[in-house]
Structure 1
């Protein structure tokens, strides 16, 4: 069974730091790439759960526990993505409230 925490996803896709002479914004994508891959992971978990439910309905699968596990993984990953979005929006709003 694989770990579905955000930290584990970020560790899998992390890249080595840029050399000291290189500009801060390189061509590797950094945060945007990590965020995109995390969202792709959520999408694939949702698709996997949908496929498992479809297989149960058609009679191809009789392992109800595996289907429930896939559905819960998809639910937890979606909740994590929503909480990440909420935290990013809160941080943005806090920055916008700062006086210059």
Structure 2
């Protein structure tokens, strides 16, 4: 599979517009810590993970917020932090409201 950056951008914009259409302007983060697989183990589906790691949404957002202020240049690892935030939004919004 190959994903074109322009298509990824379009899908992201469609999903953000969906939130706006539902009048959702902020995301309340009620659970800060989360379980995560260690790097490299997430896609080794035939092996059991050796151990779980932990992450923190406030740390993830703090790292991403520096992009908004221009305090740092983007890093490819920023996608990992963004993915954690997006996972939280998708999982909690669906769970709380049954949003489709």
TM > 0.5: no
- Which of the two has greater helix per residue? 1
| TM-score of the superposed pair, with normalisation by structure 2 | 0.32
Q: Which has the larger radius of gyration?
A: 1
Higher relative contact order (CA 8 A, sep 6+): 1
